[in-house]
Amino acid sequence: MDFVRHKGLIVNKDFLHLLKEAGLDSFDALMDHATGEVIDHRPIRTVVRLELVDGGLRRYFYLKRHYIPLKGRIRGFLRPGGIEDARNEWHKIVMLKEQGYQTMEPVAYGERGAFLETRALTLTEELYGAIRVEDYIPRLHRDGGTENLERKRRIIEKLALISKRFHQDGFNHQDFYLGHFLINPSTEEIFLIDLQRVQKRDRPVRRWVLKDLAQLVFSAINTEGFHGTDLVRFGHIYLGRKRFTPADRRLIRQILRKAAWIARHTEKVLARKRHNRG
């Protein structure tokens, strides 16, 4: 990948011509862009899906804009998980791509700081044809058949190998749910997305690895067609052993306890939201 600085942005050169044609080749133009399909809208972050035409071909992009107040930046630096923002997401997208991981295609990044608020953005291209793994596995389960069972097992093997490499390389995600893995059903390529909280260290840190795995287990347990035997299969591949050692079993118990805590916490949050709506 080759990047250039252009009008307040860092731009992937492969996309600069397209942004110029759309009049979106500057930081201000992207921050102020008023059209597109709204995917998420919160005071500190918005996400819109843009359609751009490239030589008659329709292409789609996700524009994520951050509005971070001063106290948010301070809180981010002090939190155990570190700061989460557009800059971190952009750097981790580029880093993972360069290391051979399947993730989003980086198009543009920009940031403009002021004392009271920092504004920043990332622009990535849509992963065409990809759907969430947590939606695809239930589809395979409902359709049934030996072929779909084998396909599910291949997906679980790939998830385990991606997770193993990710953690061995010193990364942790902090939102390692199946909803943040996308799969292209036609190629069975798996992509890891939503990287704004990803951390990188020289070596794995057990507490963060455990948190990632507990999040994945929690989401797997709540995914139709993802069975206990599938989790065992994941564990054998992730740990690289046909039989679990006593240390493995202690780790598994810790992961399950953490996943149960996530389930209780999630239910409390949902109950509070239901109460507030009522």
Contact of 174 with 63, CB cutoff 8 Å: no
DSSP letters, 52-120, are EEETTEEEEEEEEEEEEEHHHHHHHHHSTT---SHHHHHHHHHHHHHTT----EEEEEEEEE-SSEEEE
9 or 79: which carries more pLDDT confidence? 9
**Structure confidence at residue 274 (pLDDT):** 78
The pTM of the full predicted model, rounded to 2 decimals, is 0.91
Phi and psi, residue 6, nearest 5°: -155, 110
Give the residue-averaged pLDDT of 80-97. 83
pLDDT of residue 78: 47
At the topology level of CATH, where does 131-277 sit?
Transferase(Phosphotransferase); domain 1 (1.10.510)
Q: Where are the domains of the chain?
A: 3-125, 131-277
pLDDT at res. 75: 55
The class level of CATH for 3-125 reads alpha beta
Convert the pLDDT of each residue in 222-238 to its tens digit.
999 999 999 999 999 99
